[in-house]
Chain A
Amino acid sequence: MMMNEQKQARSEGSAFWLLVPAILLLIGLFGYPLLKVLITSILDPGFTLAHYLRILDRPIYLTVLARTVEVSLIVTALCFLLGYPAAYYLAHCPPRLRTYLFLLILLPMWTSLLIRSYSWIVVLGKNGVINLGLIQLGLIAEPLQMLYTTGTVYLAMVQILLPIMILTCYGVMIKIDQGLVRAARVLGASAWRAFATVYFPLSLAGVSTGAVIIFILAMGFFVTPALVGSRQDIMLGNLIETQINQAVNLGFASALGLLLLAATIAVVMLFRAVMRWRFSHASV
């Protein structure tokens, strides 16, 4: 028995080596560079807070930050509202059909983000499919301005991020024990009450995972706002890109990057705290 345990420990020790390549790669190309961002933001070349003070200097940076948070929150909420019923449908449709529907959700998710943004230009542009169609039908004389508006930014961002919410909710819903819902019904709960008090709380884990991932990804968006939004729709990501590719001000870009990261983490932690508080009260 003793020998067996020793043998197991030894084989675990050698299995540990299997983790080394990934750990080295992640430290060298992920952990360390992120630390470099922090350091770069407070050096110029000696210690300074100048980059952070510059953010406060002009209102544009905080205005753009506020708008970035606002857009990301609205996109996350829309993804939940649209995605939750879809995930429910997917989790409760016949298994044979499920495989195909699942693929139809995966396909847009894996199509290049650039191409998905571009497809909205084809559909909504001045010479786009909808405008030409409406003109041919004689419904409008002049093309409608749909592209380069805030509405289109939402339309495109939700389309890009929605599959993530559907998949995370689906992953949790498929594991919910339907017996619990039936038990609630047998005990006299209305269909709606059984859903609201039994099913929905059980599915919240999927909702919150999806919401957190979507919010984080939305905060870093810059391709879609740049391609389909107006000048007023720029997000913090666009400002960072400008600092890197045009101004080449690494210190300031780093300060903006950390501002973005800090705001993201703050909102995610607040969201988690609210969910936990709601949960502990709901279960009483």
Chain B
Amino acid sequence: MHPSDDPGWAGKGWSMAFTAYFILLLIYLLLPLLIVIPVSFGEDQWLQFPPTSLSLRWYRSYFSDPGFIAATFTSFWIACVVSALATVIGTVTALGLSRTRFRGKSLLYGFIIAPMVIPIIIFALALFILFNQLKMTGSVAGLILAHVVLALPFPVLIVSAALEQFDTTLERAGRILGATPLRVFLHITLPYLAPAALASAIFSFFVSFDELVIALFITGRWDTLPKRIWSDLRLEIDPTIAAVAAILIAITLIGITAGELLRRWAMARAAN
């Protein structure tokens, strides 16, 4: 333990016990996910760990199922659009929040965060009623906008945190030296915000890509990947799901590690 962090009551025995406890907790959080990966390379109809013989049977089964591939593709491009929209709107909102002072600002802040902390089933129900009335059930645009609302808290929070440490004298210097506001934004503000915005884009992508409940309520007939997995899990559990799960876990691992490192880099750079 770092001396300045030592609270003064954690003796050596305590510290060992704490470490052991933390490791056990990590096992609880991670082991079920990690087990899915070797299981997905099994040969048998029944999942086994360790698998008796290795094969790519379930991966072939996934890649040769047109329904699965179409659902994956749909989820992927929707998540890309959501990510771009949420990042742009979220960045613009964070800029607006950092440059204005008005009564009710914290109320607006709460309103922006609300979709993240309301039971999602109520949000989904509300959207179902809205789209039903507008005769928009099954609309892709509807799902995209709904996901943007759901993802928006992440860009707003991440970019706001970066802006808190932004030195606005740089912008003023640019203006005094004769640059147009647009030029200042493109050459000073935007490069500064780029890592935070990129981190936001990654997190927003996953909000949309993994979202089931809203899609289940408002998409009508077509499938997204989570919807397809859900219906498979409710009918019969085919090991193909293990292969899909393993791919998703790997993608999440890479994406979230990149997103988090970018976010940290953005914060560390801002602090200097």
Contacts and interface: CB of A to CB of B under 8 A. Distances in A.
Contacts of A220: 118-122
Contacts of B216: 241, 245
Interface of B is mostly: helix
B7 A92 contact: yes
Contacts of B100: 12, 15-16, 19
Nearest to B229: A114
Nearest to A33: B126
Interface in B156-203: 156, 203
A207 interface: no
Contacts of B96: 15-19, 22
A264 B258 CA distance: 35
A114 B2 contact: no
Interface string A138-159: 0000000000000000000001
Contacts of A122: 32, 35-36, 39, 47, 49, 242
A45 interface: no
Contact of A241 (B9, B31, B93, B121): B121
Given A33-B126, A159-B32, A222 B118 contact: no
Q: Which of A21, A40, A99 has the most CB of B within 10 A?
A: A21
Interface residues of A, number: 95
A112 to B, nearest CB: 4
A106 B260 contact: yes
A159 B28 contact: yes
A46 interface: no
B95 A18 contact: yes
A264 B230 CA distance: 26
Given A22-B89, A26-B149, A107-B253, A159 B118 contact: no
Contacts of A260: 119, 121-122
Contact of A237 (B121, B245, B248): B121
B133 A113 contact: no
Interface string A98-122: 0101111111101111111011111
A162 interface: yes
Contacts of A226: 234
A257 interface: yes
With most chain A CB atoms within 10 A of its CB, the pick from B29, B152, B234, B242 is B29
A93 B5 CA distance: 8
Nearest to A180: B7
A108 B30 contact: yes
A107 B30 CA distance: 8
Contacts of A212: 117
Chain A CB within 10 Å, residue with most, of B32, B97, B132, B156: B32
A116 B149 contact: no
A30 B132 contact: no
Nearest to B98: A15
A217 B128 contact: no
A30 B121 contact: no
Nearest to A213: B117
Interface string B1-24: 110111111110000001101100
4 nearest A-B pairs in the assembled complex, by CB-CB distance:
A220-B119, A191-B9, A18-B96, A33-B126
Interface of B: 1-2, 4-11, 18-19, 21-22, 25-26, 28-33, 35-36, 39, 46-49, 89-90, 92-93, 95-97, 99-102, 108, 111-112, 114-115, 117-123, 125-130, 132-133, 145-146, 148-149, 152, 156, 203, 206, 209-210, 212-213, 216-217, 226, 229-230, 233-234, 237, 241-242, 245, 248-249, 252-253, 255-257, 260, 264
Given A19-B108, A181-B9, 14 more contacts: A16-B100, A21-B93, A31-B111, A86-B25, A92-B6, A92-B7, A111-B249, A112-B226, A125-B237, A133-B49, A185-B9, A191-B10, A195-B9, A217-B120
20 contacts: A22-B96, A22-B156, A25-B89, A30-B149, A86-B25, A89-B22, A93-B1, A103-B256, A106-B260, A107-B253, A108-B30, A112-B209, A115-B36, A159-B32, A182-B7, A182-B8, A185-B8, A185-B9, A253-B125, A260-B122
Interface of A: 11-12, 15-19, 21-23, 25-26, 29-34, 36-37, 40, 82, 85-86, 88-95, 99, 101-108, 110-116, 118-123, 125, 127-129, 132-133, 159, 162-163, 178, 181-182, 185, 190-192, 194-195, 199, 212-213, 216-217, 219-220, 222-223, 226-227, 237, 240-241, 244-245, 250, 253-254, 257, 260-261, 264
